[in-house]
Amino acid sequence: MWKEFRPAVVSFLVLSVITGLLYPWVVTGLAQALFPGQANGSLIFRNGQPVGSEWIGQSFADPGYFWGRPSATGPMPYNGLASGGSNLGPTNPALIDAVRARVQALRAADPGNVRPVPVDLVTASASGLDPQISPAAADYQIARVARVRGLKTAQVQSLVTRFVEGRQFGVLGEARVNVLKLNLALDELTHAP
């Protein structure tokens, strides 16, 4: 009987070692050697301490900061363990109410701004973790951020322009602005802690 089971047991053990140990070890080693930043989470550091990832959004509620795209993750915003959208359709009353509330919050934070609110400032994405906003969403917030920080609008506009990333390979996706990177640069500009 052992003679019949032996090939299966040996194959199981050999494949377990190859796929469970060797392959992950080789892939991890190559990733660390060729792409160490990406392999370690694309972390962004400030004063030697990690403050976030380039690919995971963060919640900024202070009016002196640029606000990112809303997150629908639970139980807290930008929860990487609960990535996902709200699954609310465009005619769902809960989504309509949430968008209205977000528009009102943006208007309350910057009452003089009568421009149309960019859609990415009031709707969550499919992942709920978007770290970027559109250049239009960043432009919409420039006056508020400049006013609260005591900066000239042109200074903040210049900073936003510096952080606009174009389409990947010139054709994929849309132009975008990483909110965490922009806010960290804003802190450096105003010498905030």
What is the average pLDDT across 72-93? 85
User: Residues 1, 59: one domain?
Assistant: no
Give the pLDDT confidence of 90-104 residue by residue, as tens digits: 899 999 999 999 999
Query: Which of 47-56, 85-94, 184-193 shows the lowest mean pLDDT across its residues?
Result: 184-193
Residue 120's nearest CA partner among 182, 44, 66, 171 is: 66
User: Residues 129, 174: one domain?
Assistant: yes
Give the pLDDT confidence of 138-176 residue by residue, as tens digits: 999 999 999 999 999 999 999 999 999 999 888 898 999
User: Residues 36, 47: one domain?
Assistant: no
User: Residues 35, 126: one domain?
Assistant: no
User: Residues 72, 151: one domain?
Assistant: yes
180 CB neighbour count, 10 Å cutoff: 23
Q: In the chain, what percentage of residues exceed pLDDT 90?
A: 66
- What is the distance between the alpha carbons of residues 22 and 15, in angstroms, rounded to a whole number? 10
> From start to end of the chain, where are the E strands?
43-46, 49-53, 132-133, 164-165, 176-178
Residue 183's nearest CA partner among 65, 70, 55 is: 65
Q: How confident is the model at residue 126 (pLDDT cuts 50, 70, 90)?
A: confident
User: Residues 175, 128: one domain?
Assistant: yes
Q: Residue 81 to residues 58, 75, 76, 78: CA-CA distances in angstroms?
A: 14, 10, 10, 9
3-state secondary structure of 63: coil
The range of the structural domain enclosing residue 5 comes to: 1-40
User: Residues 17, 57: one domain?
Assistant: no
User: Residues 55, 91: one domain?
Assistant: yes
> How many distinct structural domains can be found in the chain?
2
> Average model confidence (pLDDT) for the chain?
91
